[in-house]
Amino acid sequence: MAEKSEKKVLVVHSATDLQRLKLEKLMKNPNKEVFIPDKPKDSSAKKTPEFIRNVWGSSAGAGSGDFHVYRGVRRREYARQKFNAEKAKREELDAEFSEKVKKNQTEAEKKAAKKRAKRLKKKQRQKAAKKLKSGKQEEESEEESEDEDDEEENKQDAINDSNDVKDGDSNINKSKDNSSDSDDDSDPKKVKS
């Protein structure tokens, strides 16, 4: 009796107290394995019996002795029908859901493919524009370099022409001087002074 009196009696006042007691009990012996029950399986309806021995007519359950038997049979049959109806409804809802998921996936894939195609088109257009722009820049740079080359050539030609003109003038002057000297010598009519 001394052992019983040593145990404390704990009064549970709320759900948290109950939870705390359960945890304390589990933590007293941490090496002990804890039993975790499996997920409950779907309850299945009882199979319909192959032979129904007690067949009632329209006056079923009229007798006082058979009434309780009839009531049990009727309850089981209603439960079986209810289970079958719920099962059929659940299967129908599952089929609808899976169909809806497939439909949503196909729509999402179509949208993604459409957006992907749009992105690729945009990217290709940008690449083409970049190539065209770089091609124009190259052409412009080539044209500019050609223009610069032409301008440089024109400047060089102008410089050469001006040099030639200067040289030509001096050459002409020289040739005139030379020709005048030679003319003086060759022309007997001119008198040297």
pTM equals: 0.38
Residue 151, H or E segment: helix 67-186
% of the chain with per-residue pLDDT over 90? 27
Domain of 85, in residue numbers = 68-148
Most confident of the ranges 3-7, 18-22, 71-75, 155-159: 18-22
Asked if the model's pLDDT at residue 37 lies above 90, the reply is no
- Over range 151-167, report the average pLDDT: 68
How does pLDDT run across 97-149, given as a tens digit for each residue? 999 999 999 999 999 999 999 999 999 999 999 888 887 777 777 666 666 66
Distance CA 53, CA 22 (A): 51
Most confident of 26-35, 49-58, 66-75, 163-172: 26-35
Q: Is residue 51 part of a domain?
A: no
Picking from 84-93, 126-135, 148-157, which range would have the lowest pLDDT averaged per residue?
Answer: 148-157
Number of domains in the chain: 1
Angle at 191 between CA 190 and CA 193, to 5 degrees: 135
Does residue 91 form part of some domain? yes
pLDDT above 90 (res 92) = yes
Tell me the two tokens of residue 13: 């006042």
Residue 129 lies in a domain: yes
Using an 8 Å Cβ cutoff, are 61 and 67 in contact?
A: yes
Q: Which residues of 31-63 are buried (b: 16+ CB within 10 A; e: fewer)?
A: eeeeeeeeeeeeeeeeeeeeeeeeeeeeebeee
Q: Is residue 117 part of a domain?
A: yes
State residue 3's pLDDT score: 54
